[in-house]
A = this chain, B = another copy of it.
């Protein structure tokens, strides 16, 4: 299968090779050294400043999102949450569950965040900003510089889920004043799902250390402490951590900028060519990570099914109300221009067959 999903994405042969190896016992100096190197590279690639730390939780991206809410927010906070799609709404729900006071900035589907939206919240006493930088459900990439200057002006912590934006779009925690960023293993890291990665600024580390998070499994205090010696409080997904190491070393060799440039090149090539077919792009502010595509004729979900069953290609269906309106094409992972050509050929063939 050719994989254009937005996660899990197409994996490189070297990573699959590591997946074929026996999983080692991990309470060893060897594994600790590998974990320390993983942390060092994650901090570096996230552009995090002095005193920053990285931790890997064994879990889905949602475990990472919930860890952000419970470790960096407490009863003293009021958090501004951008609810512009399924994942933004999940943050709102998480704050509700954990009784964190919120101001919810609701955007309609595909809407871009502007200065005007934020005006209403200037000086409104919010202490933190919670956002999915790339709202993966709609494909909208928010303006990180706009958010940064708003947070700086208002003295707010900035917590970003950059789950499918990290490595796909230029990103630097220090430049953008980000206190916590989160991603997960199955997006641009192009590994199997099972790890949520959090990178914390020095300020975020201090906040986590004084927050009673109320959940042992998601308690970053424990993870930070054991991380000092390259270990984890609970048995981690050792196999995926080994694959992460392989991937980070590859990124170190090739450079993060080169990876981002590659994803952008794949995305731009696809976007240039798809509009010759009966589709429109469903967003005007896109991450390089994925393109939301609206078919002019026929059901998006049906197109996903036909591509899967008859062409051995995965694109990514949308859930909910938009299932028939939009599918997404991911550009992360081990994809080439030739892979784009194969997808576009399949779609052209479907058009010829009267299926589009």
Residues of chain A touching chain B, judged by Cβ–Cβ distance below 8 Å, are 1, 3, 5, 7-8, 10-11, 16-17, 19-28, 58-63, 66, 90, 93-94, 97-98, 184, 186, 192-194, 214-218, 233-240, 308, 314, 316-317, 319
Contacts and interface: CB of A to CB of B under 8 A. Distances in A.
B236 A60 contact: yes
B216 A97 contact: yes
A65 to B, nearest CB: 8
Given A63-B217, A193-B238, A235-B7, A20 B22 contact: no
22 contacts: A8-B239, A10-B22, A11-B23, A16-B22, A17-B20, A19-B21, A58-B59, A58-B194, A59-B217, A60-B217, A63-B217, A63-B234, A66-B217, A97-B214, A97-B215, A98-B214, A192-B239, A193-B236, A194-B194, A215-B215, A237-B237, A237-B240
Tally of this chain's copies: 2
Contacts of A16: 20-22
B58 A60 contact: yes
A9 to B, nearest CB: 9
A58 to B, nearest CB: 5
A90 B222 CA distance: 13
A85 to B, nearest CB: 16
Contacts of A27: 316-317, 319
